[in-house]
Amino acid sequence: MEKQLALQMRGITKRFGPVVANDHVDLDVYEGEILAILGENGCGKTTLMNMISGIYFPDEGKIFVDGHEVVIRSPKDAFQHGIGMIHQHFKLVDLFTAAENIVLGVKEEGRYNLKAINAKVAQIAEKYGFHIDPQKKIYDMSVSEKQTVEIIKVLYRGADILILDEPTAVLTPQEIDKLFQVLRRMKADGKSIIIITHKLNEVLAVSDRVAILRKGEHIATVNTAETNEAQLTEMMVGKKVDLNIDRELPRSPAPRLVVEGLNLDDSEGLHVLRDISFTANGGEILGIAGIAGSGQRELLESIAGLQPLKSGKIIFHNPKKDKPVTFFHKSMKRVKELGAQGAFHDRQGKPVSFDGMATGAVRKWVESGDVLFKEDEIIDLRDKTPLQIRELGVRLSFVPEDRLGMGLVGSMGITDNMMLRSYRKGHAGFLDRKKPRALADEIIHELEVVTPGVNTPVRRLSGGNVQKVLVGREIAFAPKVLMAAYPVRGLDINSSYTIYHLLNKQKENGVAVIFVGEDLDVLLALCDRILVINSGSITGLVDARTVTKEEIGLLMTRTDYARKEDA
Amino acid sequence: MNIWLNFLIDSLAFGATFIYGSTGEILTEKAGHLNLGIPGIMCMGGAGGVMMLNLIGKSSLPPVLIVVLGILSALLMSGLMGLIYSFMTVTLRANQNVTGLALTTFGVGLMKVIMSKMNATVYLVGPKMLYRWPFAYRQDSLQCLGVLFFLAIVVAIAASWVLFRTKVGLHLRAVGENPATADAVGINVNRYKYAATIIGSSIAGLGGFYYIIDYMASQEAYLSLEAFGWLSIALVIFALWRPHMTIIGSTVFGFLFSCSSYITNIDWIHVTMATKPLLKMLPYVVTVLVLIISSIRNKRENQPPSSLGLSYFREDR
Amino acid sequence: MSLHHASEVREPLMHLSKRSAIHPAKAWAIRLAAIVLGLAVCGLVAFLLIEKIQEKPEKIWDFYNAFIKGSFSTSRKFWKFLKNLAILLGIALALTPAFRMRFWNTGAEGQTLMGVLGAIAVDFYWGEALPEPLLLALMLLAALLCGGIWALIPALCKAKWNTNETLFTLMMNYVATFVVSYFLVIWVPNGSSSLPKMKTGKLPSVGGNDYLLIILVVLILTVGLYIYLNYSKHGYEINVVGESVRTAQYVGINVRKVIIRTMLLSGMLCGLTGYLIAAGLDQTVTTNSVGGQGFTAIMVSWLGKFNPLAMIVTSGLIQLLNQGAAQISQDFNVSGALPDVITGIILFFIIGSEFFINYQIHFRGGKHAVQAGGEAVK
């Protein structure tokens, strides 16, 4: 049967500054089919779809709907041509009911009649097999219900071409099955459905054809029936690229951070992290690979003391063996306790217990530097606030994903941002800006930060420079564990290499580096071991020197077994 | 007439000032704008109506025309104030609190300047009786239930109807809750903000006009008007952002405000002079309690509009 | 196939974007231009409202002269100018820590009034019994306490239940007014509600001038607050919390504690200004002791970009306008409310000018950004 063309794209190109997000993409969509668009993060899938739905305007190229060239400047234009997109971040008014959200902005003849609208919504829902209460408020809804509202919103406006951006990212397996049934029904009704995804099993389960995008280019479109996971993965990740990042073997790696059985729920009670266990060793870089939103952010925030855990342990091994005991992070009482437990010995290796000693004598002895730790100090970080973690003497640095919203204060200069971690030092009520200022100068000099001055608000610096400031500060703190989330996102090549170099240097210094990345080539070239997570669960721990890109790609995208326990 | 009935009617009549003020404020708040200029706007509404009556109060125009022209003039003047506010806060994206306070300073001052030049024998004596139709010649408190009182009830109910029963209202609430979403579905956010602020201000202005020309109907009325502007803002919280609730709320406020003078007439309730200020404090205390309780219960429907006080700039996403 | 090419799509006529930075000199030039423009409009309004000017248009120069005359023609007027400036600045300073934290405290009027009440209450009950220095100290303590409590209540609710602080603090102003009138009824048995001036509890005059002490206290407060906000750890925490709550949590700042501590400080500083009014100037309390300055102070603080030193200039400007306009109503025999009108107009222009400092307007066609000066925006 010859199918009708619904949508054609010819030579679509979009640039953001020097970055080419889409490079002369040609794509056809037929009526009554489900087309999957497959690609890694940052391959330009969403940008491409945003151009059909009126969010962006293409720099070059043409779009045809039903054979006629069209110009789409706004979501409204897109709707007029029967195109509707369901975004990853829902655009709904929380306070309104489903029906109210669905009719919002629709120009209709006749009186506004909620009853009629509710009926019409119910009718659409019934036709495609949705389960929805039109009068339920959005704030009472689960994520999947909200998604349903978004889909009906598009259908209500009479869309024939539906674009779904990562629709399954937020759903449970049962909900995914339901969604797929609905999509198949819409397909049977003659609608064209484009689904953006990077989950291979879902592509194979639901789509008729697959278009693969890589680095902004359209690699190929294949019939789903004639392909398999291995072929798709290869097309998606491409050939391995040698990045020329120096990588030395870890020197005597010892456990630094041990995470056991970590479970975390979000505010709505959904599982975000499931039974995560791993060990980060000093002197190595542990990569974390996974599709964006698989729980990487929450994992790092849990360790940093920013998320309340449901269960699990986070143990920090402070490398103190044979190092002198100090009162820096410990009270006299605590030192005496530890002494009684036999945690210390003297330089000759004889145990120290402080038994029957006066406080003054203990103080003198400890301050002489002759009391040494017998073993590494074991510190439980669970349920500690960032401040408590710091006060325990745990040198944990964290470069968060959201640089200006979390890691730095945009309106402050570099000097003041240097103080964020250290401003509490000293007993006086006033700030000491001398050391932060010196640190700021040092970072500007060493990392070649381009800035008009140390007091220029960091918001006004370019992305690469902002990141150098943030990473520089976190490293200056001489961490034992350094966690970095997407530290090179949005950075140019030179800045990226500066960051890789800094991380490698930390590794040389014996720091346990945890690197969350999205570019598989970088992960393979930089890390020693790679932990792959998917939907909040660990799906593999691999040796970065021997693993192939395809293997990681499969671990990242395969959802079936990770979710089995849940079903 | 029964003293209690008298008291109730007086509370109702007094409350009409707040019904206008609060209904107007609710409309602008629903568009996401906290308008602290309402006291100034109410004052200018009053001044606008009075200016017209000062011209035509003694003319031989038909009574209906005099009434309507007065109202139109009040609407126009307060609408202009609303235009200033929305130009500053919507187009120029100025800080809403600061703009509102400046508007109140300006409006109250200008109203006093204008009113000092008006002639009460022209604008008040004759027109007062027209506005108090149909109870103008009664001697009890029923006399204050005039045209503008009934209009207040109609306006409050109509505003609720528009807000909660029409598409326009749905769009307006969407703008106040989540302007980015409203923008994405093709609603002209700025147009709604302008319209809501200007119409809301016009309505509030009628409250000032009613207070001067009907409820107080005295030459000095304008001097005490500002305080009731602030009370109108309080009433918005009390009414939980629902215009029809202002009818009940304003009666309660009116009741609390005027009960001190009524209670002293009842011999079985012993009231000292010191109780009066405490009774007058009650509307505000109750408002604060409503605000606290609704924030504790955290019921979404009873919260201020989500984007209240924030300017919308599309590229800020 | 249609001839309509995608590349021919027109761009909108005008496009706004946020400025990343503007030279301070340029920003001040824009503000100055706004004030000049505002003054021109004030002249127009004066022409419409003042009959003397309508009769003799050349009198318009007297109108502008009066602004200077109002504050500087006699030494008494000058001292009054400084005193009023100091009180207004004092309240604006008190608001600033809260504003820097993005806590929109609209309750300075009530917090200051409670300060006045607290000081006068101590004076009323123990004025005769206590030696003057002890009395003054106790009055100060009471003023700080009352102002602090009045700010603490909304702060606690904000920290605990996220209660809207703008509306809450606004309401507390009126509660304060009636608390004052309650005490006045109790204290003044004759029912006039006007409390005669206290004979005790008066701040000493310094150098033979009644105002000098107040001015000095506020000056010290200005510098002190500037240092506190910019050089102390507390001030630093306030700035971080104001900029991003997430960043504050990331570095381990206890956000609730900072909110409560800062609002307590804000209320206590209001109380301090209330004390200056009570012990330094009025010697009594009325419901109008603060006279709306709590609201004007919000504008002073905002216009001064929450910088205590810049706020000297902005409160001076507003005071200059006030006294100048009062002089005008005296010279031209017009309503005493004229100052408010003139202040309002100038404020509109200054507030509006911030738009041209924060945003840039690009017109279609040109790649260069057009500096919008007087062009219509809408």
pLDDT at A291: 79
Rounded Cα distance between A374 and A352, Å, is 10
Cβ-based contacts of C7 with chain A (< 8 Å): 60
Do the domain assignments include residue A161?
A: yes
- A405 to C243: CB separation less than 8 angstroms, yes or no: no
Nearest to C301 by CA among C287, C289, C321, C315: C315
Rounded Cα distance between A53 and A79, Å, is 8
Q: Closest to C341 (Cβ–Cβ): which among B110, B281, B284? A: B110
Residue A205 has phi, psi (to 5 degrees) of -75, -35
More confident position, A373 or C142: C142
Do the domain assignments include residue A326?
A: yes
Interacting residues of B174 by C-beta distance below 8 A, sequence separation 6+: A93, A96, A104, A105, B181, B182, B185, B187
- A96 to B177: CB separation less than 8 angstroms, yes or no: yes
Cβ-based contacts of C15 with chain A (< 8 Å): none
Rounded Cα distance between B243 and A364, Å, is 75
Return the residue matching tokens 């949590």: C249
Return the residue matching tokens 């917090």: C111
Could you read off the pLDDT of A291-337 as tens digits, one per residue? 777 889 999 999 999 988 889 999 998 877 777 887 777 788 888 88
- A104 to B181: CB separation less than 8 angstroms, yes or no: yes
3-state SS assignment for residue A257: strand
Same domain, A140 and A204: yes
Q: Closest to A460 (Cβ–Cβ): which among C20, C250, C252? A: C20
Same domain, A231 and A127: yes
Level-2 CATH architecture, domain C51-333: Orthogonal Bundle (1.10)
pLDDT at B265: 64
Mutation site for C-interface testing, chosen from B110, B228, B264, B312 by largest number of C Cβ within 10 Å: B110
Residue C7, pLDDT > 50, answer no
Residue A48 has phi, psi (to 5 degrees) of -60, -45
Residue A371 has phi, psi (to 5 degrees) of -95, 120
C-alpha distance from A442 to closest chain B C-alpha (Å):
34
Could you read off the pLDDT of A147-206 as tens digits, one per residue? 999 999 999 988 999 999 888 877 777 788 889 999 999 999 999 999 998 778 888 889
Residue C12, pLDDT > 70, answer no
Query: If you write DSSP's letter for every residue of A166-198 in order, what string do you get?
Result: STTTT--HHHHHHHHHHHHHHHHTT-EEEEEE-
Could you read off the pLDDT of A57-111 as tens digits, one per residue? 888 999 999 989 999 988 888 888 999 999 888 889 999 999 999 999 888 777 7
Q: Closest to B92 (Cβ–Cβ): which among C163, C334, C352? A: C352
Same domain, A126 and A230: yes
Cβ-based contacts of A402 with chain C (< 8 Å): 246
Domain ranges, ordered by start, for chain C? 51-333
Domain span holding position B144: 3-316
Residue B203, pLDDT > 60, answer yes
Of A167, A202, A237, the residue that ends a domain is A237
Could you read off the pLDDT of C157-175 as tens digits, one per residue? 999 998 888 889 999 999 9
pLDDT at C213: 94
Cβ of residue A257 closer than 8 Å to a chain B Cβ: no
Residue C277, pLDDT > 50, answer yes
pLDDT at B272: 72
Q: Closest to C337 (Cβ–Cβ): which among B113, B274, B315? A: B113
Q: Taking the alpha carbons of C276, C277, C282, C286 in that order, is the dihedral positive or negative?
A: negative
Mutation site for A-interface testing, chosen from C250, C255, C265, C307 by largest number of A Cβ within 10 Å: C250
C-alpha distance from A93 to closest chain B C-alpha (Å):
6
**Which chains does A contact via 3+ CB–CB distances below 8 A?**
B, C
Give the CA angle between residues C86, C90, C96 to the nearest 5°: 140
Q: How many domains does chain A have?
A: 3
Q: Where are the alpha helices (DSSP H) in B189-244?
A: 189-210, 225-238
Least confident of A41-50, A250-259, C366-375: C366-375
Q: What is the CATH number of the domain that holds B197?
A: 1.10.3470
Cβ of residue B2 closer than 8 Å to a chain C Cβ: no
Could you read off the pLDDT of C65-78 as tens digits, one per residue? 888 888 899 999 99
Do the domain assignments include residue A464?
A: no
Domain span holding position A560: 241-317+382-395+480-489+512-567
Q: Closest to A431 (Cβ–Cβ): which among C2, C5, C236? A: C236
The whole-number average pLDDT for the span C242-266 is: 93
Do the domain assignments include residue A131?
A: yes
Q: How many residues does chain B have?
A: 317
- C163 to B291: CB separation less than 8 angstroms, yes or no: yes
Give the C-side interface with A, CB within 8 Å: 1-2, 4-7, 9, 20-21, 231-234, 236, 239-240, 243-244, 246-247, 249-254
Q: Closest to A406 (Cβ–Cβ): which among C231, C233, C250? A: C250
Q: How many domains does chain B have?
A: 1
Q: Which residue of B has its CA nearest to A76?
A: B186
Helix axes B189-210, B225-238, angle to 10 degrees: 130
Residue A279, pLDDT > 60, answer yes
Q: Taking the alpha carbons of C360, C364, C366, C367 in that order, is the dihedral positive or negative?
A: positive
Cβ-based contacts of A419 with chain C (< 8 Å): 236
pLDDT at A558: 67
Cβ of residue B175 closer than 8 Å to a chain A Cβ: no
Residue A463, pLDDT > 50, answer yes
Residue A427 has phi, psi (to 5 degrees) of -90, -20
- C351 to B277: CB separation less than 8 angstroms, yes or no: no
Distances (CA, A) of B312 to B90, B93, B178: 8, 8, 10
Distances (CA, A) of A202 to A519, A522, A532: 22, 26, 19
Environment class of A541 (CB within 10 Å of its CB; exposed 0-12, middle 13-18, buried 19+): middle
pLDDT at C27: 86
pLDDT at A563: 44
Residue C9, pLDDT > 50, answer no
The pTM of the full predicted model, rounded to 2 decimals, is 0.85
pLDDT at B315: 60
pLDDT at C98: 96
Nearest to A86 by CA among A8, A21, A169, A14: A169
- A412 to C239: CB separation less than 8 angstroms, yes or no: yes
- Contact by Cβ (8 Å): B304, B30: no
Same domain, A216 and A259: no
Same domain, A232 and A371: no
Could you read off the pLDDT of B67-78 as tens digits, one per residue? 999 999 999 999
Q: How many residues does chain A have?
A: 567
Please state, rounded to an integer, the average pLDDT across all residues of chain B: 89
Q: Which residue of B has its CA nearest to C187?
A: B274
- C298 to B105: CB separation less than 8 angstroms, yes or no: no
Residue B316, pLDDT > 60, answer no
Element (H, E) at B123: none
Same domain, A536 and A391: yes
Could you read off the pLDDT of A464-523 as tens digits, one per residue? 889 999 999 999 988 999 999 999 877 777 788 888 999 999 999 999 999 998 888 889
Same domain, A133 and A45: yes
Q: Closest to C246 (Cβ–Cβ): which among A58, A62, A406? A: A406
C162: tokens are 């996220």
Nearest to B235 by CA among B248, B223, B226: B248
- C232 to A429: CB separation less than 8 angstroms, yes or no: yes
Q: Which residue of B has its CA nearest to A114?
A: B165
Environment class of C232 (CB within 10 Å of its CB; exposed 0-12, middle 13-18, buried 19+): middle
Could you read off the pLDDT of B112-158 as tens digits, one per residue? 989 988 998 889 888 888 898 888 777 777 777 889 999 999 999 99
Rounded Cα distance between B313 and B180, Å, is 9
Q: Closest to A69 (Cβ–Cβ): which among C2, C20, C233? A: C2
Same domain, A306 and A328: no
Interface of A with C in 152-211 (CB under 8 A): none
- C251 to A398: CB separation less than 8 angstroms, yes or no: no
Same domain, A254 and A290: yes
Same domain, A309 and A328: no
Residue A272 has phi, psi (to 5 degrees) of -105, -40
The whole-number average pLDDT for the span A267-276 is: 83
pLDDT at A559: 59
Q: Where are the alpha helices (DSSP H) in C130-254?
A: 132-161, 165-187, 212-231, 233-243, 245-250
Residue C124, pLDDT > 60, answer yes
Could you read off the pLDDT of B11-33 as tens digits, one per residue? 888 899 999 999 999 999 999 99
**Which chains does C contact via 3+ CB–CB distances below 8 A?**
A, B
Interacting residues of C183 by C-beta distance below 8 A, sequence separation 6+: C117, C121, C285
The whole-number average pLDDT for the span C108-122 is: 97
Rounded Cα distance between A316 and C330, Å, is 76
C-alpha distance from A470 to closest chain C C-alpha (Å):
12
Q: What is the CATH number of the domain that holds A553?
A: 3.40.50.300
Interacting residues of A239 by C-beta distance below 8 A, sequence separation 6+: none
More confident position, A406 or B312: A406
pLDDT at C248: 94
Mutation site for C-interface testing, chosen from B38, B93, B98 by largest number of C Cβ within 10 Å: B98
Least confident of A210-219, C131-140, C185-194, C234-243: C185-194
Cβ-based contacts of C295 with chain B (< 8 Å): 101, 104-105
Q: Where are the alpha helices (DSSP H) in A20-172?
A: 45-52, 75-80, 98-103, 114-128, 143-156
- C249 to A416: CB separation less than 8 angstroms, yes or no: no
Do the domain assignments include residue A18?
A: yes
Interface of C with B in 177-216 (CB under 8 A): 178-179, 181-182, 185-186, 191
Q: Closest to A112 (Cβ–Cβ): which among B166, B180, B181? A: B166
Same domain, A151 and A269: no
